[in-house]
Structure 1
Amino acid sequence: MRFFIYSRKSVYTGKGESVENQIEMCKQYIRSKFPDVVEDAITIYEDEGFSAKDTIRPQFQRMLQDIRERKPDYIVCYRLDRISRSVSDFSALIEELNDRNISFICIKEEFDTSKPMGKAMMYIASVFAQLERETIAERVRDNMCMLARTGRWLGGTPPTGYRSEKQQEMLVDGKIKISCRLKESPDELQVVGTIFEKYLELHSLTGVSKYLIRQGIQSRNGTWYSLLGIKEILHNPVYCIADKEAFSYFTAQHANVCFEEKDCKGRYGLLAYNKRDYKKKHAPRQSMDQWIVAIGRHRGEIPGKKWVAVQGILQDSIPTGKKPANIHNESSLLSGRIICGKCGSRMFAKRRSHPGTAGGEFDYICGNKLRGGVCLCDCQNISGSQADAMVFAYLVNLAEESPGICKLLEALKRDLQKQTREDPPACIETKLHRCDDAISHLVHTLSQDGVGAAFIQHVNNRIEALEQERSSLLQEREQLQMKRNSITGLHLEIERLAGSLSDLKGLLRSLSVQEKRSLIHLLVQRIVWDGKNLHVFLDLASNGTESL
């Protein structure tokens, strides 16, 4: 007989129901019930640092694959929730095992699906496991609502315009309770007011950014406000005064509003909880019907009518199928690949808007200059059509006159093959799962009774640190994945070009815009514009540098 043992634990602790202890107890059970079983007949699958919220776990998926290929007689686990807390996931597994005549044994609850009663009890237990999970989630939501009604700041980085301030309260039994509230920072709040005013005037995030740069207004970190940072400020209800307009707006959005219209005194600002879904990748912002909105203990800055008007403008600026996002220039070859020689920023294609210019005319402009004008960079623009023509003509001549182009393509081909063999670090996924599970575990603690304010602040600070770590891991994973996804396409481009060298000059002139971009991406390491000359650096430095 063949046995598969599956073990799982969300967070590593080194004690208690560790995966090692689970495996050992499963082995003891197998030996006691099947004394003739040899060690080689037992296969072990361990998932350390993965939650039971779904079945996307490396070793669990590997076990499913082995079930279909090697067909064990029994699947053994320590406890039912080691497999899943979802009835649908568990039912799907049991059905597949039944179809393959494989028995499932859970030693803690003493279930054995090879027997009818064991199968029935297994389904009942899985229903209660899911009920427990949903009950915990409901208690978390109830606790968040209770905390929201107090208007306390629960920790984390205070928004622009405020700082966190501790305050003490004397309870009836003489105990001291410490909580946090937002305290105004007048200088920063003045900037916030300016951002709202300019956005209502210009209807443009870029326009607001340029205005702040021209005025020399920087963030608390001494850097220029990014477009994303400006958008976050405009979206944040913390600045919205709790008045009748704000109450009507959030009520219409079906948010969980934790105050009545009579409570709107037109003085305090709002606090919103449950704005992001941390169970999903990248923790996306949730729709407002999932928000919990309460009156805070801080002074609001923006009247509800003005704040609501800003939300309307932001919503209208979101691209849709009927209203696509603005594109600088869909025919440019070098947008984002030219580097400004003065400030090091990338240069992008921008259509000319002067009266009398042709519709397709465009220039390459420094990204800093595009964002903040000559205050950030005064590098002269370069004609887009001329720059594209010069760079591409140079590559065509290089292909015809220089035998080094063949060596360059071969070197690029070898480099891509080497990169294809390099797997991204597997530890990234493990670390991401551990961050997600740790955040879920910390959120779960908020559902416990008798949670104090100091502990809540500590938990939220820890969640914030985990979120930052998670964001870094996601960015690293995305960069690795993007790199790997592009390798196949680049490899095919090289094969096609290398196979057509007999008439490469004619081939190059007949390429589409996208194919020309691919060629430039393959052969050119970077292009630098110093205001007078365009310097082309070929990849791998095989053919040096050329100034055009």
Structure 2
Amino acid sequence: MNIFIYSRKSVYTGKGESVENQVEMCKEYISDKLPNAKQAEISIYEDEGFSAKNTNRPQFQQMLKDLKRIRPQYVICYRLDRISRNVSDFSSLIEELNHQNISFICIREEFDTSKPMGKAMMYIASVFAQLERETIAERVRDNMLLLARTGRWLGGTTPLGYTSEKLQEVVLDGKLKTACKLKENPGELSIVSSIYEKFLELCSVSGVSKYLIREGIGTRNGNMFSLPGIKEILQNPVYCIADEEAWDFFRKHHADICFERPDCSNRYGLLSYNKRDYRKKSAPRQEMDQWIVAMGKHKGVVSGKKWVTVQEILKSNIPTGKKPSIMHNSYSLLSGTIYCSQCNSRMFAKQRRSKERISDERSQKSYDYICNSKLRAGTDLCNCFNLNGRQADNMVFESLLPYMNENKNIFLLLDKLKREIQKQIEKDPCKVIEDKIKKNTGEINNLIRTLSHDNLGEAFISRVNEKISELEGEITSLLEEQSRLKNKAGSYEESSLKINQASHDLISVRRIYRIMTLEEKRTLIKLMVQKIVWDGKKLHVYIDQ
């Protein structure tokens, strides 16, 4: 007999219901209540530091895998919410256990799904567990609103221009509370002011970046400001003065504002809470209607009018899809593929205003490849010469043609792949499946004919119907497997055709060069070239051997 024990605790502490205590109580239950299981093999799964909001926990997921492999008689936990506070997640687990005839026991609530009443009570309890979770979330948000009204800094990395300062003040019910507020750092705040003023002048984040590099202005750690870092400063309400223009802006965007319009001040800055969704990977920025905005106890540096203007400019600069990005334009072949040898950054295509004559009949805009450092800050970061784009594209592609004609290894590889795929095509597992389907169908027909006889007992009819259902289930699974195998065979045949086409294209690539699309040329170069480096005088192409 096999028994699984699962334990979980959100935060590691040495108190209360630790995972170790939960496991010991489950073992005691097995010893007292399941005397026939004293010699059972017990597997223990412990998740320390994981909440019950979902089932994305390493040991829980491992237990689910082992359930299918080992199929224990029981899964035991100390309390229901150790599994999940989500009704959907909990129901899915119970359905899976029922499907495999595994009993679930919760020792604190004394539920046992091997009994009908225990199963019903389990579902009812799971509903209350989810209600508790939603109530906790609501309570957290209420507390956040309450703290927001006090204008306190709740911790974390302080924004540029401020440090965190502890203070004591009466907050609620006459109780003395320790809180933090932001304290101004004049030197850093002058940098913030420069960033806002320069952005309003240039309307460009990259323009601000070039200005900062040119002036030798760096971050708190002495590093160069990144473009996302500059944008984060421009979007942060902490620098915005809590005036009427700011109040109107956040009211328009349906944010929770913790002060009234008559309370607006030209002295204090804003604090914002709940800006990011930390339940999701990378904690994306939430819509403004989810924000909580309060008046802080720190000095604001940008008027509401200026801050709102900055937000409108940033919004208007968001790509709409009509403008091609630098790396994926419609005219250059090597943009983002070439590296500058002086600063090791990538080189991107940038069009000139002038046009370049292609033939007597037509001309096209000319372009150069410029390294990313130079694009960001001009020659202050890198003074490597620009590279003529069209000449570089033609030279690189022409340099690859002899290699494709002379190197036979690629054709040998294609031929080997083709032989392997042909072996897979020749195998026909679908025939075995067809025979099984015919056999099951024949058995079903025989059973149906049996049911047509008179004077059959109810127990016999019930067993026959169960067998028919079982056979029909097998047929459904076989048909799905047959469909999957047919699709796989089709993909093998498609791959074989593609390999034939690839071989043909490589042989005739020089002939079809003029009719190849830009994307096709880019793909071919990625397959053959390891790296391209420009040293200011020569272009070095490293072939992927």
Shorter-chain TM band: 0.7 to 0.9
| Residue 144 of structure 1, CA deviation | 1.8
- 2:145 corresponding residue in structure 1: 145
Deviation at 1:135, TM superposition (A): 2.4
Whole-angstrom CA distance in 1 between matches of 2:500 and 2:19: 53
- Greater Cα shift, 137-146 or 286-295: 137-146
Segment drifting more, 120-129 vs 82-91: 120-129
Q: 1:218 to 1:240 in 2, by over 3 A?
A: same
**Contact 2:356–2:366 (Cα < 8 Å) also in 1:** no
Aligned equivalents of 2:111, 2:296: Cα separation in 1: 51
Per the alignment, residue 368 of structure 1 pairs with 373
How do 1:501-520 and structure 2 match up within 5 A? 504-507=506-509, 512-520=517-525
Identical-pair percentage: 64
3-state DSSP of counterpart to 2:35: coil
C-alpha deviation, 1:324, in angstroms: 5.5
Map 1:180-329 to 2 at 5 A. Answer: 180-320=180-320, 323=322, 326-328=325-327, 329=329
Unaligned runs of 5+ in 2: 358-362, 416-493
Cα distance, 1:159 vs. partner? 1.5
TM-aligned CA deviation for residue 259 of structure 1: 0.6
- AA in 2 matched with 1:527: I
Would the alpha carbon gap of residues 49 and 149 (structure 1) be closer, same or farther in structure 2, given more than 3 Å must change? closer
> Could you tell me how far 1:370 is from its partner in structure 2?
0.7
Shift of 1:231: 0.7
Q: How many angstroms does 1:87 deviate by?
A: 1.9
Q: Secondary structure at the match of 2:76?
A: strand
What per-residue deviation string (whole Å, max 9, x for no partner) do you get for residues 370-400 of structure 1? 1111222221111222212222222221232
Q: Provide the secondary structure at the position in 1 that maps to 2:398.
A: helix
Cα drift, residue 13 of structure 1: 4.9
- Change in Cα spacing, 1:79 to 1:200, as seen in structure 2 (3 Å) is same
Query: In 2, are the aligned partners of 1:163 and 1:182 still within 8 Å (CA)?
Result: yes
Work out the CA distance in 1 between the residues paired with 2:299 and 2:533. 50
Q: CA deviation at 1:117?
A: 2.9
Instruction: Give TM-score, length-normalised by structure 1.
Output: 0.73
Q: What CA RMSD, in Å, does the superposition of the two structures yield over aligned residues?
A: 3.6
The count of corresponding residues between Structure 1 and Structure 2 is: 458
CA positional deviation for 1:258: 0.7
1:389 to 394, 398, 404: 394
Matched, 1:529 2:534: yes
Cα 1:12–1:187 shift into 2, 3 Å: closer
Residues 489-528 of structure 1 deviation map (CA, whole Å, 9 limit, x = unaligned): xxx99x9789966873424755654444344334333221
TM-aligned CA deviation for residue 208 of structure 1: 2.1
- Letter of the aligned partner of 2:127 in structure 1? V
Change (3 A) 1:257 1:53: same
* Number of the residue aligned with 1:438: none
Q: Is the 8 A contact 1:166 1:180 kept in 2?
A: yes
Aligned to 2:85: 85
What is the SS of the residue equivalent to 1:259?
coil
1:197 Cα shift?
2.6
**Alpha carbons 1:198, 1:208 under 8 Å: kept:** yes
Native 8 Å contact 1:497 1:504 kept in 2: no
Take 2:242 and 2:174, find their aligned partners in 1: how far apart are those partners? 32
**In structure 1, what is the Cα distance between the partners aligned to 2:371 and 2:177?**
54
Q: How does 1:459-478 map to 2 (within 5 A)?
A: none
Please list, as runs of the form range in 1=range in 2, the aligned pairs for 1:29-68 lying within 5 A after superposition: 29-37=29-37, 39=39, 42-65=42-65, 67=67
Relative distance call for 1:375 and 1:29 in structure 2 (3 A) is same
- State TM-score, norm by structure 2: 0.74
Equivalent residue runs for 1:100-111 within 5 Å: 101-111=101-111
Q: Which amino acid aligns with 1:313?
A: I
1:531 is paired with a residue whose SS is coil
Counterpart of 1:298 in 2: which secondary structure? Answer: strand
Bigger mean CA deviation after superposition, 346-355 or 176-185 = 176-185
Partner AA of 1:534 in structure 2 = L
- CA drift at 1:244: 0.8
Contact 1:5/1:45 (CA < 8 Å) preserved in 2? yes
Which secondary structure state, in structure 2, belongs to the residue aligned with residue 36 of structure 1? helix
Cα distance in 2 for partners of 1:31, 1:180 equals 52
1:63-74 paired onto structure 2 within 5 Å: 63-65=63-65, 67=67, 72-74=72-74
> CA separation of 1:148/1:31 partners in 2, compared to 1, >3 Å: closer, same or farther?
same
How far the C-alpha of 1:228 sits from its partner, in A, is 0.7
Segments of structure 1 that go 5 or more residues without pairing to the other structure are: 411-491, 543-548
- Equivalent positions of 1:124-143 (< 5 A) are 124-143=124-143
Q: Decide whether aligned partners of structure 1 residues 366 and 113 sit closer, same or farther in structure 2, where only a CA change above 3 A counts.
A: same
1:353 match: secondary structure:
strand
> CA shift at 1:232, angstroms?
0.6
Q: Output the CA distance in 2 between the equivalents of 1:93 and 1:250.
A: 43
Give the letter for the 1:524 counterpart.
V
Residue 226 of structure 1: CA displacement?
1.7
Q: Structure 2 counterpart of 1:285, which letter?
A: R
Partner of 2:197: helix, strand, or coil?
helix
Query: What pairs up with 1:531-546 in 2 under 5 angstroms?
Result: 531-539=536-544
CA–CA separation in structure 1 for the residues paired with 2:84 and 2:174: 46
Change in CA separation of 1:502 and 1:515 when aligned onto 2, cut-off 3 Å = closer
1:178 deviation in Å?
Answer: 4.7
Q: 1:13 to 1:506 in 2, by over 3 A?
A: farther
Alignment-mate amino acid for residue 91 of structure 1: S
The one of 390, 403, 407 aligned to 1:398: 403
